């Protein structure tokens, strides 16, 4: 029997289903947007106040100004916290990149049970709570006689950034084709020259990504730094101590700068990491030649 | 022999007396080499003794897992023998790292350095050996010309086809003029047509440069067509070493007979009957050479040695067609004869004309039956 109702019924079911799907996806989007609003509104707010021509952190908007950015330089304590924090982070980046890469190479070339043990030994400081690490380092440094200051903070930061570099570089190392190192040795290069000419060039992007990550991790670290700092504060410590007396506009300005710089760094880092997953993504394959047979 | 004096600890090496002054010197020698990998229970390489001579194209043929790659990696120095010795040019290479061995490898996946141009890849071994700049340029150009890759020298590996990468890898391994070139299934990743072209090109190249090639493959066609001599391996040990002809027509073991080409294999005996040496294979009898050892043995007879007409050989027997398998350019006809099933290779149109159960006469030359121990 081929009555018209028979053919109508399935269509009705389909439209019901698709309506449900639309509603469900609306809810999903609404949730998504709510979460992002929640995350980004404070960031945007701080950014807005950094340009607001008023010492009071409240609406209404009283005009556009760049004076708070200029005020950063005038605020001696703020400026010295910024430069001190930067020197800490740059030292940390330099040392962590070298040491972390070295650890990754050692772990990667070890055989048997050694890699797992070595890796665990490297990583544990990164997963111990910052409070525990900071306190235990502070006590140890006092016993050993390392004064609180630049170097104590640098060592403290290395404890959790070296593992990060090790992991990022190790992931890359493990994806490398082992026959490339063998080919290099086969063609007359010893272990060191093989590393320099064959392994290291393929690790460069991973090391760069790890260095950027280390920079952001170290620059805004608070807990460990709190335990290890002497009289000179790093920027986040300084800002934190200032906020107890209320925000000042130049803090909005510097936080806005830092936010913008870290977004740029993170975008670069992820770009670099993605490129590393498939260095020849895109046009490379199409350019393959078929001639010369 | 001269290179014997180079080696500190060689008196009493077995097999040395076999060398005649006319033969080229041995460049690679396996002296009872075994390899057991860490954690493995069986030997990947099991008591291999082998002499590879200067300037020859030597193939190692065997099924997957037979230990071919392991042998090659021990020559290159990526693995150490668990027991036995490997001598390169008469010198025990135990403990000598890969970069100090005058041996280069063409890897199965080519292992071209992805971050270097073809030119930089090919000049790499020369740079590592600190060859003078102008000589590097000269030799790179010369070697790229040899493999017809000059126009592609600025490209990167990912911009090349499989065959081009293969040739680039070959150029890189050859440019340092090693004493021995090791090739591990270098044509495995190429399509059939390109593979056949490259077989010819490789053989030609080997003759031109005069370098000893040790070529690992599981493709018997490749081994038979390219080699001066070849070794057949199975489960870690060597079954037979010889020229392709010897291995093909005079297999030493049932494994070789079965692995190379297609052969009828079966058990039988050789007996002395009124002064003549006679082989019995099922109900088939045939004369054998007078010096053939007597007693039970295995027989091998190639498919193409069995003819479907009665005049082609000196032994003709009656049988019935059991099955015909069409192979495209030819067919395999299985004929039951007196308790033995003989497979004959026949032109396709002859195979089509036969039907199962049909009575037929097959013939073969008694001289083509090979007696095998075991
Ligand atoms: N690194 C290793 N560790 C443990 N066992 C190994 C290792 N390499 C090879 N083997 C084992 O040794 C045996 C011989 O391996 P090999 O690679 O030499 O075989 P092959 O003849 O080259 O095989 P194929 O034709 O498949 O390449 C195999 O059983 C293999 O599983
Ligand atoms: Mg192999």
Within this chain, do residues A26 and A130 fall inside the same structural domain, yes or no?
Answer: no
Hey, what are A199's tokens?
């392994």
- What pLDDT does A22 receive? 84
Q: What is the pLDDT of residues B296-305, one digit of tens each?
A: 988 989 888 8
pLDDT of residue A292: 35
Phi and psi for B31 in degrees, rounded to 5? Answer: -115, 95
Confidence of residue B270 (pLDDT cuts 50, 70, 90): very high
Residue B21, in any domain of the structure: no
C-alpha of B27 from chain center:
18
Q: What's the pLDDT at A122?
A: 84
Q: How many A/B residue pairs have CB atoms within 8 Å? A: 85
Give residue B21's pLDDT band: very low, low, confident or very high (50, 70, 90).
low
- Per DSSP, the residues of A8-63 read HHHHHHHHHHHHHHHHHHHHHHHHHHHHHHHHHHHHHHHHHHHTBSSSS-SSSP--
- A281–B contact, CB cutoff 8 A: no
pLDDT, residue A285, reads 37
Q: How far is B272 from chain A (nearest CA, A)?
A: 57
H or E stretch at B198: helix B192-209
Structural domains of chain A, count = 2
Cα A212 from chain centroid? 7
Q: Which tokens hold the place of B345?
A: 């290779």
Is residue B70 within 8 Å of B61, Cβ to Cβ? no
Beta bridge partners of B85: B31
Residue ranges lining ligand 1, Cβ < 6 Å: B 37, 40, 44, 62, 64-70, 218
Q: Do residues B245 and B276 both lie within one domain?
A: no
For residue A37, what pLDDT is reported?
Answer: 81
CA of A233 vs chain B CAs: smallest distance (Å) = 44
Burial of A222 (0-12, 13-18, 19+ CB in 10 A): middle
Residues B107 and B205 in one domain: yes
Q: Any idea which ligand is nearest the CA of B63?
A: 1
The number of distinct structural domains making up chain B is 2
- Asked, for residue B5, whether it belongs to a domain, the answer is no
**Between helices A249-277 and A235-243, what is the axis angle to 10°?**
140
**B59 and B177, same domain (yes or no):** yes
pLDDT of residue B13: 41
Q: What stretches of B208-312 adopt beta strand conformation (E)?
A: 212-217, 229-234, 237-242, 263-273, 276-281, 284-287, 295-302
Same domain, B220 and B281: no
Per the rule left: phi > 0, alpha: psi between -120 and 50, beta: everything else, A232 is: beta
- Residue A282 is predicted with a pLDDT of 38
Predicted local confidence at residue A12, as pLDDT = 56
Confidence of residue B22 (pLDDT cuts 50, 70, 90): low
Q: Which of A67, A85, A111 is the last residue of a domain?
A: A67
pLDDT of residue A199: 93
Mean pLDDT across the stretch B38-60?
93
Asked if omega into B175 is within 30° of 0 (cis), the reply is: no
Q: Decide if the complex's ipTM is over 0.85.
A: no
Q: Domain check: are A93 and A233 in the same one?
A: yes
Parent domain of A171: 75-278
The answer to whether position B10 is within a domain reads: no
State how far the alpha carbon of A234 is from the alpha carbons of A230, A237, A255, A278, in Å.
10, 5, 13, 38
Q: State how far the alpha carbon of B271 is from the alpha carbons of B5, B16, B264, B275, B300, in Å.
A: 49, 36, 21, 10, 17
Residues B284 and B206 in one domain: no
Question: Do residue B177 and residue B275 come from a single domain?
Answer: no
- The ranges of chain A with pLDDT < 50 are 1-9, 277-293
Residues A103 and A224 in one domain: yes
**Per the domain annotation, does B73 fall within a domain?**
yes
Same domain flag for B232 and B336: no
* pLDDT value of residue A273: 65
Domain end among A44, A67, A90? A67
Among candidate residues B196, B194, B257, the one with its CA nearest the CA of residue B221: B196
Quote the DSSP letter at residue A197. Answer: I
Q: Is residue A283 situated within a structural domain? A: no
Q: Tell me whether residue B2 is in a domain.
A: no
Which residues in chain B have their CB less than 8 angstroms from residue A190's CB?
97, 99
Mutate to test the pocket of ligand 1, among B30, B42, B66, B184 (most ligand atoms within 8 A of CB): B66
A129, A169: one domain: yes
The answer to whether residues A63 and A82 belong to one domain is no
Which CATH number characterizes residue B167's domain?
3.40.50.300
State the pTM of this model.
0.74
B45 alpha carbon, closest ligand: 1
Burial class of A100 by CB neighbour count within 10 A (0 to 12, 13 to 18, 19+): buried
In a domain, A217, yes or no: yes
Residue B306 structural domain: 262-372
Residues A266 and A130 in one domain: yes
Rounded CA Rg of chain B: 25
Task: State the average pLDDT over residues B229-252.
Answer: 93
* Whole-angstrom distance, CA of residue A31 vs CA of residue B259: 66
Cβ pair B107:A187 closer than 8 A? no
**Any idea how long chain A is?**
293
pLDDT digits over B173-200, tens only? Answer: 999 999 999 999 988 877 888 888 888 8
So what's the pLDDT on residue A275?
A: 61
Regarding whether B296 and B245 lie in a shared domain, the answer is: no
Examine the domain organization and report whether B108 and B222 are in the same domain: yes
């Amino acid at each position: 029997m081929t009555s018209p109702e028979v053919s109508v019924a399935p269509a009705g079911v389909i439209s019901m289903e698709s309506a449900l799907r639309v509603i469900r996806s609306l809810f999903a989007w609404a949730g998504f947007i709510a979460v992002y609003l929640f995350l980004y509104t404070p960031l945007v707010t701080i950014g807005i106040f950094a340009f607001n021509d008023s010492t009071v952190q409240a609406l209404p908007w009283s005009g556009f100004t760049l004076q708070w950015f200029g005020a950063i330089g005038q605020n001696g304590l703020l400026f010295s916290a910024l430069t001190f924090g930067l020197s800490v982070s740059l030292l940390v980046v330099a040392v962590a990149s070298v040491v972390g890469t070295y650890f990754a190479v050692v772990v990667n070339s070890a055989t048997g049970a050694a890699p797992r043990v070595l890796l665990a030994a490297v990583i544990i400081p990164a997963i111990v709570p910052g409070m525990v690490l900071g306190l235990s380092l502070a006590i140890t440094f006092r016993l050993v006689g390392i004064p609180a200051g630049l170097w104590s903070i640098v060592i403290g930061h290395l404890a959790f950034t070296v593992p990060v570099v090790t992991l990022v570089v190790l992931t890359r190392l493990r994806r490398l084709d082992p026959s490339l190192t063998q080919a290099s040795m086969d063609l007359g290069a010893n272990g060191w020259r093989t590393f320099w000419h064959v392994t290291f060039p393929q690790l460069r992007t991973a090391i760069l990504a790890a260095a950027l990550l280390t920079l952001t991790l170290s620059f805004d670290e608070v807990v460990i730094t709190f335990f290890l700092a002497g009289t000179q504060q790093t920027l986040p410590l300084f800002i934190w101590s200032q906020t107890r007396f209320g925000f000042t506009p130049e803090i909005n300005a510097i936080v806005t700068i830092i936010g913008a710089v870290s977004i740029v760094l993170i975008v670069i880092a992820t770009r670099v990491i993605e490129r590393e997953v498939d260095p020849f993504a895109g046009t490379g394959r199409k350019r393959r030649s078929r001639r010369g047979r | 022999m001269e290179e014997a004096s180079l080696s500190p600890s060689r008196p009493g090496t077995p097999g040395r007396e076999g060398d005649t002054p006319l033969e080229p010197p041995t460049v690679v020698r396996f002296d009872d080499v075994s390899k057991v990998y860490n954690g493995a229970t069986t030997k990947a390489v099991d008591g291999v003794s082998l002499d590879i001579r200067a300037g020859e194209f030597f193939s190692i043929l065997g099924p997957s897992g037979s230990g071919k790659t392991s042998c090659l990696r021990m020559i290159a120095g990526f693995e150490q023998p668990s027991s036995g010795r490997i001598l390169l040019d008469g010198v025990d290479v135990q403990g000598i790292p890969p970069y100090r061995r005058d041996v280069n490898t063409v890897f199965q996946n080519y292992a071209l350095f992805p971050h270097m141009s073809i030119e930089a890849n090919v000049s790499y071994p020369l740079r590592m050996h600190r060859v003078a700049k102008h000589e590097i340029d000269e030799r790179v150009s010369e070697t790229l010309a040899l493999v017809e890759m000059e126009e592609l020298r600025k490209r990167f590996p990912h911009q090349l086809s499989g065959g081009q990468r293969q040739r680039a890898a070959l150029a890189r391994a050859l440019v340092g003029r090693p004493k021995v070139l090791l090739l591990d299934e270098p044509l495995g990743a190429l399509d059939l047509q390109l593979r056949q072209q490259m077989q010819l090109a490789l053989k030609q190249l080997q003759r031109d440069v005069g370098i000893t090639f040790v070529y690992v493959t599981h493709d018997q066609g490749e081994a038979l067509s390219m080699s001066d001599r070849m070794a057949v391996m199975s489960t870690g040990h060597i079954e037979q070493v010889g020229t392709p002809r010897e291995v093909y027509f005079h297999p030493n073991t049932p494994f070789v007979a079965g692995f190379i080409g297609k052969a009828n294999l079966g058990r039988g005996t050789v007996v002395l009957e009124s002064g003549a040496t006679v082989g019995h294979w099922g109900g088939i009898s045939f004369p054998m050479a007078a010096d053939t050892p007597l007693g039970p043995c295995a027989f091998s007879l190639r498919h193409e040695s069995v003819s479907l007409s009665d005049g082609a050989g000196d032994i003709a027997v009656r049988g019935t067609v059991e099955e015909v398998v069409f192979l495209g350019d030819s067919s395999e006809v299985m004929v039951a004869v007196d308790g033995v099933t003989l497979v004959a290779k026949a032109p396709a149109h002859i195979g089509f004309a036969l039907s199962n159960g049909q009575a037929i006469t097959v013939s073969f030359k008694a001289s083509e039956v090979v007696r095998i121990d075991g």
